[in-house]
Amino acid sequence: MGKKISTENETASSSASTRVKNKVCILTGAASGIGRATAILFAREGAVLVISDVDEKGLKETVSLIKEGKERVTAVKCDVTKPTDVKKMIDEVVAKHSKIDVLIVNAGVVRVGPIETFPDEDYDLLINVNMKGTHYTCKYAIPYFKKQKSGSIITLTSVAAHIGQPNHANYCSTKAGVLGYTRALALDMAPYNVRVNSVSPGSTDTPMLQGDCMIEAKQRGVPYDVVKKEREKEGVIPHWADPTEIATCILFLATDDASYMTGSDLRVDGGWTAR
């Protein structure tokens, strides 16, 4: 149950399907974790892919891991907290390809800690990346989606949008905000034949979650492995997800297989919220 899937391209079948073949897809936060796995998967599935991140080194590493479809991938440095960066990237994609078929709003950060000592600068970062970054990425793409009257927007929320977690109030608030934003945007875009959905991952084996657990371990004065084992038991599938297990759900929402879905949220959480 819950077999892990490698993100390495060489393990994939050479006969992989191409469900997003020639679709113009923009993906933010592609330097690591879920974003990296999504980039690899979408490239393999035939997408014309523009990937972005503020982390240029990580972005280059992602490109180096793409074995199939690399010739259709463009990497762009973009800070989603800067509206000018986001608008420039989206305008240039449309200028080159004349459309956007899929927008994957994945860029995000996590900071945790008790409310009474939570640094203002950390909360500002959470709001600026998770909420405003989502808004800017959608804001500058929406005029094109409305004009072409087609497309799919996919945001990344979190299990933290649905439940509370100790020392996560600030992070949870931003992810709940993204969830609400996505649902409302789905209503706005329905008349234009544009679907808007979200994915809420549970514990996923990414540098972000590893860093989160390291911080928690330090705050509690316990070994990292203790926190990791606790997190693995949060779902009824007793291990962390591989990033590709989340990427496959993002891919589903991007395809015609999800043609009757909008305003929906896929909880890919190993059964965490089913308890």
Catalytic residue among 144, 171, 192, 260: 171
Tokens 């000018």 locate to 84
Give the residue, 129 or 207, on which the prediction is more confident.
129
- Quickly tell me which residue has 């992602």 as its tokens: 62
* Statement: residue 7 has pLDDT above 80: no
Per-residue pLDDT, averaged over 185-201, amounts to 98
The position carrying tokens 């690399």 is 70
* 5 — pLDDT class (breaks 50, 70, 90): very low
Strand ranges in 148-240 using DSSP code E only, listed in sequence order: 151-156, 194-201
Predicted confidence (pLDDT) at residue 170 exceeds the cutoff of 90: yes
The band of 123, judged by pLDDT with boundaries at 50, 70 and 90, is: very high
Strands 102-105 and 73-77: unpaired
CA 270 from centroid of its chain's CA atoms = 17
Average pLDDT across the chain, whole number: 92
Tell me if the pTM is above 0.75: yes
Report the pLDDT value the prediction gives residue 9, as an integer from 0 to 100. 43
Q: pLDDT tier at 68 (50, 70, 90 boundaries)?
A: very high
Strand partners, 198: 155, 265
Q: What is the DSSP letter of 204?
A: B
What pLDDT was estimated at residue 17? 65
Q: Are 252 and 40 in contact (CB under 8 A)?
A: no
Assess if CATH 1.10.3210.10 describes domain 18-202+242-274. Answer: no
pLDDT at 13 over 50: no
For a pLDDT cut of 90, what percent of the chain falls above it?
Answer: 80
- Answer yes or no: 171 catalytic: yes
**Domain limits, the chain:** 18-202+242-274
Phi/psi class of residue 217: alpha, beta or left (left: φ > 0; alpha: ψ in -120 to 50)?
alpha
Q: Is the dihedral of CA 211, 216, 218, 223 positive or negative?
A: negative
d(CA 20, CA 46): 6
